[in-house]
Structure 1
Amino acid sequence: MMRCAVFGAFILATGPAAAETFEFIGNAQSLNSQKQLYEELHQVTGNCSKAGFEPAEHTVSYFKDPGDRRFAFKTLQYGEHPNRPSVEFHQPDFSETLEIRYSKSKQLTIDWQPPSENPRRFQVTFDGRLVVDAGFDQFVRANWQAVIAGESLPFRFLAPTRGDHYGFVLEPAPKEKIDADVVVQIRPTSLVLRFLVDPIILGYNRKGALTHYRGLTNIRADRETNHTAHIRYRVIQYPGCELTL
């Protein structure tokens, strides 16, 4: 009987780690008028390991005002490659949905239902440099020492509604528009895209938590355009381990 009790205690001690939660809220304001646009509630569940916090699932709920109905939501599933989560996004007010799944090891499938248009499907091949959606946040933290050292990091970024990915670089940015401990920007490397796509500016605190996002969002202003916003984040709950190493 004693041997069974000891064995049971061993199983409990070496079983799956308890889930950890990382929660934060973002308030999005218009770049031009400073008007409050919406609020984002983020909840990331995952586990702590020797590598720090490892995200598993990330849910985002969008509200026009605190306590108002949820007008959009997104779920991300992080697997073996946190830079490339699967994505499910719904914006019911515009009858828009977007799903990103990995059909093969080096191929993903995008199913997009645009507002008032026929659905579209893309099959996209990729390599290990690809970053998808909020995977940019994991990309920053996975390269934290290089980021705070001021290095430039090239990668490929998925443009799901175009069914393709493009060359981008993560690099230091001036702190003129964002007051954060660490300020970086994501900008396209193609000269043509630089004229069409403004850089996304990101701010982080010393713990590696996102504090600012300034740029194009996935939330629609109308059927033709998305909001460009400055989103300020505050952490509600940190996980029980470091976000970065």
Structure 2
Amino acid sequence: MLRVIHFACLPVFLLSLVSFSGIAEENKEERFTGKAYDQQSGDLIYTEQHSIKVDESGAPVSGNVVYTQANGEELAVKQLNYGKIPYSPSFQFDDQRLAKSLEVQVEVDRLLIRSAEGEESVKLPRDKPAVVDAGFNYFMQQSLPELKQGKTLSLAFLAVGRAEFYGFEVSPEKINDKTIRIKLAPSAWVLSVLVDPTYLTYDVKTSRLIRYEGLGNIERVRSGKGLDENYVVRIEYEYPE
């Protein structure tokens, strides 16, 4: 569980770009749902409604995610825009409960982070893929062939709360005929003490993300105030037939 450094966008890291393989040219949009359960109690915490627009090649163009509580009340909304590098999208996240807004704008060699605290500029790393938010899932899907071969990959992931990129390693943990379970963990030992691994399960045939286990996107709230920590969740993804 993350306690010191916020990687709050990791699943959404993920969650807004769950499947592009298998999308035919005539299909311009895909919709799917993610249900986030508390890892300890198993209770449903929130639901994610995803909508992604793709171009003729199946590459992502834009995305929209609506988060709702178990009772159906809307929690937050996220908008994504993908440029030439799909794993580094710009996005805006609005938490309606806390009246918080976060914007990340990706430029050629840097990105800008805007929030109530002000604006910060972050230089994009050049030594490894610079992954932002839901772009992580696109990176994963493109890397599945290598992961199926047992390879370990490196990437730099944006920690929005710290306005800094951190090194992570991605490695296959379990592979069978139907699924591949992948582990995401910090490269640096010091950071690995502070951040628990994240686990992702993909369907081998469709390359779709079917399960996410780790830090979620939604901040815990008590008596109307944010607790500065996010839920730790298991998210199960459902796709239309």
| Interval containing the TM-score (normalised by the shorter chain) | 0.7 to 0.9
TM-score by length of 2: 0.81
Q: Contact 1:20/1:48 (CA < 8 Å) preserved in 2?
A: yes
Q: Contact 2:28/2:54 (CA < 8 Å) preserved in 1?
A: yes
Q: Corresponding residue for 2:183?
A: 185
**Alignment RMSD, CA only?**
1.7
Q: Corresponding residue for 2:79?
A: 75
Q: Residue 123 in 1 paired to residue 131 in 2?
A: no
Distance in structure 1 (CA, Å) of the matches to 2:147 and 2:31: 23
Q: Contact 1:18/1:47 (CA < 8 Å) preserved in 2?
A: no
Query: What's the % identity of the aligned pairs?
Result: 29
CA deviations 1:55-113 (Å, max 9, x no partner) are 111110011137x23210101111100000001000010121110002x4111000123
Alignment of 1:1-245 (within 5 A): 20-49=28-57, 53-65=58-70, 68-102=72-106, 104-113=107-116, 119-128=117-126, 129-174=129-174, 181-206=179-204, 207-222=206-221, 223=226, 224-236=228-240
Shift of residue 174 of structure 1? 4.2
Shift of residue 173 of structure 1? 2.0
Q: Corresponding residue for 1:241?
A: none
Distance in structure 2 (CA, Å) of the matches to 1:97 and 1:183: 33
- Number of residue pairs the alignment of both structures matches: 207
Larger mean CA deviation between 143-152 and 26-35 belongs to: 143-152
Give 1:211's aligned amino acid.
I
| SS at structure 2 position matched to 1:236 | coil
Q: Gaps spanning 5+ residues in structure 2: where?
A: 1-24
Shift of residue 236 of structure 1? 2.1
Distance in structure 1 (CA, Å) of the matches to 2:113 and 2:34: 26
| SS at structure 1 position matched to 2:162 | coil
Q: Corresponding residue for 1:5?
A: none
Larger radius of gyration: 1
